[in-house]
Structure 1
Amino acid sequence: MNIGTKIKNLREEKHLSQTELAFELGISQGTLHNIESGNSKKIDFLLMDKVCQFFDKDFEYFLEDKFVNNVHENHGQVGQNNNIINNFPENFLEEFKKLVEKNQANEKIIEELKEKLNTKD
């Protein structure tokens, strides 16, 4: 199952339209349609981070059934066909997970600060 199909299945499980999910991810409905239908062969890591956070899934969930290959013309993007994944160091997934966790922690801190500001008003 490719990344787009997994995103579509998760979206449908949450009973969301493409338009609703696209809005949550900060992309156009057309872009999401292309990803879900397999017409878009590359998805950048920032978007995948948003997808992982929105659906509360680890990055590895979307990599199941994929090969890890060194593809130099990939330019740091995740591909949806079965042979493009990375040209990154072996510990890339661990480092990516750490960045996602740090990002989530920072978002919590920002929300707490916003709440403090709102209670001062």
Structure 2
Amino acid sequence: MKIGGKVRKYREVKGWSQDDLALRLDVTQGTISNIESDKTIPNSLLLNKMAKELEVDINELLNDSTSNIMSNNEFSDHAVAAVNQYNPVFNIQSPELTESILKNQEQITKLIEAQSKLIESLLKNK
């Protein structure tokens, strides 16, 4: 069973509606609906809060088998594969990605320079 089905199961055992769980987690009902229908996977912080509220081990939410997600402070291959199914794979050597990073860095540099000039002009006017 995927994460969404498990969340639904444990929520229903508690007798909670999606709204009830959403309120406890400080998210929207739509977020809970998307998680339960496996349209999205919760980030690690939300997953941790969810496990605590539902009073289940986080391994129980993440794992389809009986093995643990973590042992000796390392993620199992099964856990990595489970999370990676929701994440796109990026080729870090992609020319497009490199170009985009360089453009962002240039924009950041320009913003810092503009900020510095603004601060200098404000200090001169005092």
TM-score w.r.t. length of structure 2 = 0.52
Return the letter of the residue paired with 1:48.
L
Give ranges in structure 2 of 5+ residues lacking alignment. Answer: 66-77, 88-126
Answering whether residue 15 of structure 2 is matched by residue 15 of structure 1, we say yes
TM-score, scaled relative to structure 1: 0.54
Residue 102 of structure 1 is matched in structure 2 by none
TM-aligned CA distance change 1:19 to 1:60, over 3 Å = same
In our comparison, the structure showing a higher alpha carbon Rg is: 2
Counterpart residue identity of residue 65, structure 1 = D
CA distance in 2, matches of 1:32, 1:84: 16
The structural deviation recorded for 1:37 is 0.8
Residue number in structure 1 paired with 2:32: 32
Number of residue pairs the alignment of both structures matches:
75
Instruction: Say which is worse superposed, 57-66 or 9-18, in terms of deviation.
Output: 57-66
The one-letter code matched in structure 2 to 1:16 is W
CA contact (8 A) 2:18 2:32 kept: yes
Instruction: Give per-residue Cα distances to partners, 1:82-109, cap 9 Å, x unaligned.
Output: x469xxxxxxxxxxxxxxxxxxxxxxxx
Distance 1:84 1:34, change over 3 A: closer
CA distance in 1, matches of 2:18, 2:86: 25
Give the conservation status (yes or no) of the 8 Å contact 1:69–1:84: no
The one-character-per-residue Cα deviations of 1:42-100 (angstroms, maximum 9, x if unpaired) are 31111011111112211111122262336xxxxxxx73x8x469xxxxxxxxxxxxxxx
For structure 1, the residue ranges without an aligned partner over 5 or more in a row are 71-77, 86-121
For residue 69 of structure 1, give the secondary structure of its aligned residue in structure 2. helix
> RMSD of aligned C-alpha atoms?
2.4
* Residue matched to 2:79: 68
Q: Which runs of 4+ in 1 moved over 4 A?
A: none
